[in-house]
Chains A and B, each alone.
Chain A
Amino acid sequence: MEGNYSTKKNYRENFYDLNISGNRSIIEEAERLGFAGVSLTYNFDDYNSEISKEYDELKLESNILIRKCLEISCKNPEELKKKVQRSRKKADIIMVRGGDNRINRAACEERNVDILSQPYRNRRDSGMNHVLSRQAAENDVAVEINLSSLLKTNLRYRHRIISQFRHIMDLKRKYGFSVVISSGARSSYDQRNPMDIFALSNCFGMTKNESFEALSTIPKHIIDRNDERDNFVLDGVKTVVEL
């Protein structure tokens, strides 16, 4: 997972937003703002064949890379494990909605989870500590920094979200787990230009290279890993198809 902000090619082309949901207009807006790909997020409990059909149509019509992401919200770790197993075949990316201590921990320990979304949700602290950070790094679970939680929070409490993001970044630097930045957009008013996200992420102490990684290199790595997931037999063993 190497990426560099400085190269001119990367500067415009390879940004991914792994958490948006909506219709065709939101995908068009993402394309206009310079994203190379997006993942459409659906709630696991609401997901059905109609939504799947709708997703297939959107994927056919769009000019950018589209992936399907299922967001799992659950009350206890056992439920999480069941839901993750059931959704692995259905979705390209699996995201677990964090916030609860036990759920955050179970998500970090589960190899099939790709992203732990908003571990700081409805909390005073960041929802991450050194134990969870180590687990997340070991199991390759990325932690999501969701910009909508910053932008939709009351102005009076925004400082708290900024300090939670800052804490996640401090842990990331020490323990080396992956962090992704996503917009969490539900309408085109929630979407931001990648360069504006760089500037905004500077507020919570991210350098340009870190922002670039969180918006480009790591999302790309997650997408590529899941595209090849069927070919993996064991850890480190992959089926190679000869052409």
Chain B
Amino acid sequence: MNQKLKILPPTMRDKKRYIAFELIFQGHMTREDVIDTIIEGSLYLYGACGTGKFDIWVVKLWKCGKNTSPHGNPDENYMRGIIRCRREEVESVRAVLPTITRFRGKHLVFHTLGISGTIKSATKNFIKV
């Protein structure tokens, strides 16, 4: 029988940061697609060795509907989400997001909304759904 590992003491755990982001895209994207694009972007920018250090994890995603601004494109969809990464690598992970420009031939863009130390404060301060 598999026994669950005991949780590490707080001093031994990696320090994390949570990056809140906004994703604007055309067409349809699932959670898996978002994860794939971020990991792929990181692999292209830093390679397997660099990406391994980041501990990237997409924690949560919110679908925010379509673009409603008067001059905007009505086919655009909005999503917001939170990525978890190691505290020391937060700037490197942040640099990955603007390099992602396309998904399956369609345009997409990531904008960072902010960085926080907890999921709760990231949601409260930046996601605001």
Contact = CB atoms under 8 A, between A and B. Distances in A.
Interface of A: 23-25, 28, 33, 147, 150-152, 155, 158, 187-193, 195-197, 199-200, 202-203
Contacts of B45: 158, 203
B91 A199 contact: yes
A67 to B, nearest CB: 21
Contacts of A33: 111
Given A25-B72, A188-B72, A193-B98, 15 more contacts: A23-B71, A24-B71, A28-B69, A147-B98, A151-B99, A152-B101, A155-B44, A158-B45, A189-B101, A193-B112, A195-B94, A199-B92, A199-B98, A200-B99, A203-B45
Nearest to A193: B111
B71 A199 contact: no
Q: Is the interface of A mostly helix, strand, loop or mixed?
A: helix
Nearest to B111: A193
Contacts of A24: 71
The range of chain B's interface size is 20 to 34
Interface of B: 24, 44-45, 69, 71-73, 91-92, 94-95, 97-99, 101, 107-112
Given A33-B111, A195-B112, A196-B111, A202 B98 contact: no
B46 to A, nearest CB: 9
B91 A202 contact: yes
A155 B71 CA distance: 31
A193 B94 CA distance: 11
Contact of B71 (A28, A151, A200): A28
17 contacts: A25-B69, A28-B71, A33-B111, A147-B98, A150-B99, A151-B99, A155-B44, A188-B24, A188-B109, A192-B109, A193-B98, A195-B112, A196-B98, A197-B98, A199-B98, A200-B98, A203-B95
